[in-house]
Amino acid sequence: MQGTTSATDTAETQAGAGNTAQALVVFTPSGRRGRFALGTPVLTAARQLGVDLDSVCGGRGICSKCQIAPGFGEFAKHGVTSRPEALSAWNSVEQRYKDKRGLIDGRRLGCQARIMGDVVIDVPPESQLHRQVIRKDADARPVAMNPATRLYYVEVAQPDMHDPSGDLERLADALRLQWQIDAVTAAPAVLRKLQPALRQGGWAVSVAIYRDHQGGPARVLDIWPGFHDGGLYGLAVDLGSTTIAAHLTDLSDGRVLAASGVMNPQIRFGEDLMSRVSYAMMNPGGDVEMTRAVHSAINALAWSVAAEAGIDTALIMEMVLVCNPVMHHLFLGIDPVELGQAPFALATSSALALPAREAGIDALNAEARLYILPCIAGHVGADAAAVALAQAPQESDDLVLIVDVGTNAEILLGNREKVLACSSPTGPAFEGAQISSGQRAAPGAIERVEIDPVTKEPRFRVIGCSIWSDEPGFAEAAGPAGVTGICGSGIIEAVAEMRMAGIVDAAGLIGSAAQLGSDRLIAEGRTQAYVLHDARATGGPLISVTQGDIRAIQLAKAALYAGARLLMDELGVDRVDRVVLAGAFGAHVSAKHAMVLGMIPDCRLDAVTSAGNAAGTGARLALCNIDARAGIEAEVARIHKIETAIEPRFQEHFVAASALPHASDPFPELAQVVTLPQVTHNTGGSGAEGGRRRRAR
């Protein structure tokens, strides 16, 4: 978001101009350059030029954060000839550090190496204070580190009876002089640590200082005697209706050290959000019970990831939370009932920054801070804000539709000019719930389905097994549990394949075509069901897609499509340039099948991408960079919110979208589908491939 490293400064800074013996120093990659008196430490020169060179100990040869890589030779580009003698000799501090911790050959400590002649000095990425976070998702924008909580090593003046002042006041003076940090405060619990730490550390301490992005006073969160090299950590938590995921992140470089997820324990109070709201309405104190359950789960997650990474939870100084509005209220202990009825008023929509303990999170450092991203509207939560932060539609040149599918779908549409947001009540069908053979995505769940359009025979793959059901060895590979049900992405594929094979008609009716006559169709009350897997003979389940399942998927996909269309209407567009599917569902659903079903509006198939857990990524960005917090708060205020519940056109789109389109329906892109690489089925044989080619013709 910010980058002092990218700024260049062609005018040479004249430091100590009265000094006759000076040398020219050029820093790369920034290109910043200046003249300095001989003997100036490289770190000092870097600071004076505003070069992004890290240091925690303030140049005392303790922290080694200021490692530099001097370059020697002719640098025509910079007009400098840099000789080995341009830096002072390797010294004992550097040797001691190298012996103890190791130092890459050619590296020096910037606080020890002094400028003795013209020199070119490279600041390697890991020595940059605002170093970029490494992100796995390729399309994501890079982000620089700028966490709210940082570690500072300070040397504090000893008490003086002739000029009495408190230890905290002398620490504050030292922070002001040595780190330009004004006005620190500290809780009594931290004050208790200050006296012994100062005396044990010989009047030098390391302090974890929290500064918000709104100019509030700096706060000492913790204190260690001398130089603390245990690191500082943050926890990014994505609190979903069904699962809670936590990423333990190093606050110095943004690395994820451990990640873990658990089921949301509130599930025992209701599978979906509205049933939890009902629980709160029907059971006095029910919301308190649900709040406690989620606090316990997050505290346990914190212990678990810290144990996995081998760090002390007391070093977790910050937590960032993203979640939908109902989870947001239940987490904060606010009755969610208002969110279950018009006008869907949030108790608060702003971002929240507060002590984590105040919100029931006590597994972290006692003074740890909690940041909760802003909610966009009553149905569009902090999780949607986190998706917006990770995907930045407001920075997109082309028109992007971002869909985060869960029990509610959060939908963002926009580009540089305008961003719209809404939420659509898709229900839990996409998560495998309320589907007759549905289950959550877990081993044994059918996740991939193909149906031969001629024979109407299915083949499928289950989670945890790479062999298709019609291939040799499937029974063994699927394990003793075998095939247990259908997950969300499996039901999408099953219904889409049933439609493409003619088993389901455009209205969604199973077996309406007279000529079918497949023994895969069985009677299910007054309607029919399509059997995917029948293990009843061996005591296993009958796994089928019923007429009710089709209806549930029709309702869900119509809601999703209608929400997207509503935003498109609002912008006055008929097509979007690209579609991003966020969330676990988005990562696993096949774009082709989603489009066959009519879940998402027309778009080139190769312009449909998955963003993975974009909400979780947004949480980590907010953890690593306070500018990201300020940025998303400003952006959420700008986002145009649409309430689907009161838009008559939403109902119209919803009704119109309940039909199931087909490859020969107005989806010409589908003709290209089979040749696209992102159709990621592990094809087991040419038969299925042939079947699909036939469809595409």
- Which residues contact a copy of itself (rule: CB under 8 A)? 158-169, 186-189, 191-192, 194-196, 216-217, 332-335, 338, 342-350, 354, 358-359, 375-378, 641, 643, 645-646
| CB closer to a copy of itself out of 422 and 492 | 422
Three-state secondary-structure class, residue 412: strand
Residues in CB range of 261: below 8 A, 6 or more apart? 243, 244, 245, 246, 301
Smaller CB separation from a copy of itself, 47 or 641: 641
**Residue 507 amino acid letter:** A
Return the closest-CA partner of residue 261 out of 234, 240, 292. 240
By CB atoms closer than 10 A (0-12, 13-18, 19+), residue 604 is middle
| Residue pair 485/541 in contact by the 8 Å Cβ criterion | yes
Tell me what percent of the chain is helix, strand and coil, each rounded to the nearest 5: 35, 25, 40
CB-nearer residue toward a copy of itself: 14 or 651: 651
> What interhelical angle do 382-391 and 614-624 show, nearest 10?
80
* Direct distance between the N- and C-terminal alpha carbons of the chain, in angstroms, rounded to an integer: 47
- The least CB distance from residue 591 to a copy of itself, in Å, is 31
Closer of 7 and 189 to a copy of itself (Cβ): 189
Give residue 69's identity as a one-letter amino acid code.
A
The least CB distance from residue 376 to a copy of itself, in Å, is: 8
Q: Is 257 left (phi over 0), alpha (psi -120 to 50) or beta?
A: alpha
In angstroms, the CA 429 to CA 66 distance is 53
Q: Considering the complex, state which of residue 222 and residue 493 has its C-beta at the smaller distance from a copy of itself.
A: 222
Specify whether the CB–CB gap between 279 and 286 falls below 8 A.
yes
Least separation in angstroms between residue 459's CB and a copy of itself is 47
Nearer to a copy of itself (CB atom), residue 195 or residue 678: 195
Shortest separation between residue 455's beta carbon and a copy of itself, angstroms: 51
Cβ nearer to a copy of itself, comparing 183 with 513:
183
Cβ atoms of residues 403 and 424 within 8 Å: no
> Which residue lies nearer to a copy of itself by CB, 358 or 574?
358
- When the beta carbons of 62 and 351 are compared against a copy of itself, the nearer one is 351
CA distances from 493 to 593, 597, 668 (A): 6, 9, 19
Quote the least distance from Cβ 342 to a copy of itself, whole Å: 6
Q: Closest approach of Cβ 643 to a copy of itself, in Å? A: 4
- Measured over the CA atoms of residue 52, residue 55, residue 56 and residue 58, the dihedral's sign is negative
Cβ distance to a copy of itself smaller for residue 264 or 644:
644
Q: How many H helices and E strands in the chain? A: 17, 30
Closest contact distance (angstroms) between CB of 389 and a copy of itself is 19
The nearer residue to a copy of itself, 199 or 693, going by C-beta atoms, is 199
Token pair 């992005």 is found at 213
DSSP 51: -
Which residue type occupies 231?
G
**Smallest separation, CB 357 to a copy of itself (Å):** 10
User: What is the rounded CA–CA span in Å between residue 504 and residue 328?
Assistant: 40
Please identify which residue in the block is written with the tokens 């070093």: 315
Least Cβ distance, residue 367 to a copy of itself (angstroms) = 10
Least separation in angstroms between CB 385 and a copy of itself: 13
H/E run at residue 44 = helix 42-49
**Nearest alpha-carbon partner for 462 in 433, 489, 483:** 483
What is the closest distance, in whole angstroms, from the C-beta atom of residue 340 to a copy of itself in the complex? Answer: 12
In angstroms, what is the minimal distance from the CB of 321 to a copy of itself? 12
Q: Which is closer to a copy of itself, CB of 21 or CB of 189?
A: 189
* Smaller CB separation from a copy of itself, 42 or 297: 297
Instruction: Give Cα 393 to chain centroid, integer Å.
Output: 15
Calculate the alpha carbon distances from 645 to 88, 339, 344, 372, 517 in Å: 71, 12, 10, 26, 42
- Least distance in angstroms from the C-beta of 542 to a copy of itself: 45
